[in-house]
Structure 1
């Protein structure tokens, strides 16, 4: 048990201490951590089933701007561990996980508050010209903070909790256990409704109902719906692109003057000033310069790898600042060799507040910053304020696009498929989700990082202006809504067991509902939760309401497990 407790504790630590994103990114999701907890505790099947049940509740919990509505890391790891310790039915995992997720909010608040202290220690180190200390303040104190807040509680629960966990389960009456299973069957409606609240534009909502009724009437599997939705979205994307090309062709062309700067290859590259002070600045031509200090492809790859720990010391005061300063150490050393004081001075510009989607779209900003940093080191008239002005200007658009595509569309599509496989006792479900999700995110992130470096901010802004990303987002939203419709039809697994006896005939309420439309009750519950979210009812109160009403309706015989 000691080894199991130690491994679960380490998993709990890295679920918050994001030391290398490709290894830790999916540790925030119960679908992945549930299987790992199960393996560590010798119950892989139970762990996977519990993790999948918990994940369904959090399909729509999207963390944006550093705001975490619920701690899914704690919910997945602690909820799964308690399910295994007690030997409970996986359907009860949700009732264990939700309280842990709310307690976990205090843990993440403490973690991000304490990390603010290490940022000030890093400031002091740069003032002394000590560049090496940045690595220490980024990684070491934040690890021990995560160990105390996450690791020790997880270790103690697994090491010493089996006895009281089983006693707790035995103390719950059978009727209450059944009622809690009903609550667990209703809870996926919360995650689905949150996704609808995030993606559900009026023009796109019909795709949710298409996915729902395709599954309800034809019993199509999630993968089949995803393939069908993908082909449909592709056709719509092509049609929108053709319309956009016609509009663009009809629009008059505008001539734009740009500054020029000889780039790394000796060719003339375009450089757009951040904010021209007067009209004469537009007519200025930057003198040709020769790049004496250049960044190689190897340097760029190293920088991209260091960027994967930009949230290891994530904190409320400056968010990703310390991690990005840590990322820039290698290129700054290369551009300003043998001058540690100058290196420290250049790194100071990155110790300001910065927060964006870090791994899929956000890397393009760091590529652009590297390009400007290289030009600055070789004599170009680029100030520290220019670099930070560009970073700040791109921060918002990258966050909006990245969070929407990654958390609001890509994740629920893949997680829905993975959960469906996992609940059918297929180990490939969590593996499929984890591998495909990571490959897509980091392949796009790497490409955009290199693209930003090679083309600079001008090309990035041009992409944003073309509207191509809006069309791509719409296409992915269609796929996401249809897949979510499938989940509403299959994972909100409740029925109405009421039977009326009229004379010698028997009327089953569920049969009447099925005659109107299959899965009508799950759809109604999902729509009700979505309505409450749209009315700005706090998600925590909705969860409490699901617990209370689920238990009452179970005892009253109004709701039962499908």
Structure 2
């Protein structure tokens, strides 16, 4: 797949818009949405002219990061780099979704290291801003606080993403073809396991009672063995949820009636 300078530039700008430190006027919610792999895969697919492949890879990568949380402000991967240069590189190389997931995990960790470097540079800018405040130089203070950090972020994210995409268009497919088949098989197996890890982390954080995992297992059976689509599986899950609610509600009503009956019998005996 060939890529133009304009396409590489658009992917680079999208990566910057999805960065957590980005102070663009559209707000934090917009940046957070842009950083999601499913959104990144869609955007990259639109730019490269293959939306189906972009969404497919984005959905596979999104499954791996469903349970990602920020602990102490530290993330295990930079989601903007996961969502844009890695998915673009996988599409340019013609890799399948499983290999793309492994590639995204690698690029995401490297992106997290890059973000740490950005934070170090930003701390320097903020120290300069404090210095200019002490000197009562408001103009330079605004430059240090409001101009230098976004420019640095744009240069790093746009520059690295643009370079990866432009170089990837020439070397990604050749590099993938040169990798031994056993290595690709291992990457595919690991890529197939990683989404399961993300889903398991999400279940750990969301399930209040582990007996509810039965609903998750039923969903897996519906899709894997019964070959139901997502709509049919969602309808089945809704029906089971309603049935569970009706069963528990009846049990609660019976318990209340039993308690009231016991109270009435005790009153009669007294």
TM-score by length of 1: 0.38
- How far is 1:73 from its partner? 1.9
**Where does residue 16 of structure 2 map in the other structure?**
13
1:3/1:128 CA distance change after superposition, 3 Å:
same
Choose the corresponding residue for 2:235, options 205, 224, 232.
Answer: 224
**Where does residue 377 of structure 1 map in the other structure?**
none
1:63/1:228 CA distance change after superposition, 3 Å:
farther
Q: Do the aligned residues in 2 keep the contact of 1:214 with 1:220 (CA within 8 Å)? A: no
**Where does residue 48 of structure 1 map in the other structure?**
55
**Where does residue 205 of structure 1 map in the other structure?**
210
Superposed, 1:51-130 pairs within 5 Å as 51-128=58-135
Q: Do the aligned residues in 2 keep the contact of 1:12 with 1:73 (CA within 8 Å)? A: yes
| 1:187 aligned counterpart, secondary structure | helix
Superposed, 1:290-439 pairs within 5 Å as none
Q: Do the aligned residues in 1 keep the contact of 2:37 with 2:79 (CA within 8 Å)? A: yes
Question: Distance between the aligned counterparts of 1:225 and 1:140, measured in 2?
Answer: 53
Question: Distance between the aligned counterparts of 1:81 and 1:9, measured in 2?
Answer: 10
- How far is 1:230 from its partner? 7.6
1:93/1:130 CA distance change after superposition, 3 Å:
same
1:66/1:214 CA distance change after superposition, 3 Å:
closer
**Where does residue 250 of structure 1 map in the other structure?**
none
| 1:67 aligned counterpart, secondary structure | coil
1:175/1:128 CA distance change after superposition, 3 Å:
closer
- Greater percentage in helix: 2
- How far is 1:32 from its partner? 0.7
Question: Distance between the aligned counterparts of 2:190 and 2:139, measured in 1?
Answer: 52
1:77/1:214 CA distance change after superposition, 3 Å:
closer
| 1:62 aligned counterpart, secondary structure | coil
Question: Distance between the aligned counterparts of 1:9 and 1:230, measured in 2?
Answer: 43
1:115-159: CA deviations, max 9, x gaps? Answer: 112222333444455666665444321122212322111111111
**Where does residue 267 of structure 2 map in the other structure?**
none
Question: Distance between the aligned counterparts of 1:101 and 1:49, measured in 2?
Answer: 18
Q: Do the aligned residues in 1 keep the contact of 2:89 with 2:172 (CA within 8 Å)? A: yes
Q: Which moved more, 1:46-55 or 1:138-147?
A: 138-147
1:193/1:101 CA distance change after superposition, 3 Å:
same
| 1:66 aligned counterpart, secondary structure | coil
Which consecutive residues of structure 1, in runs of 5 or more, have no partner in the other structure?
A: 239-562
1:230/1:22 CA distance change after superposition, 3 Å:
farther
Which consecutive residues of structure 2, in runs of 5 or more, have no partner in the other structure?
A: 250-270
TM-score by length of 2: 0.74
**Where does residue 268 of structure 2 map in the other structure?**
none
Q: Do the aligned residues in 2 keep the contact of 1:87 with 1:166 (CA within 8 Å)? A: yes
| 2:70 aligned counterpart, secondary structure | coil
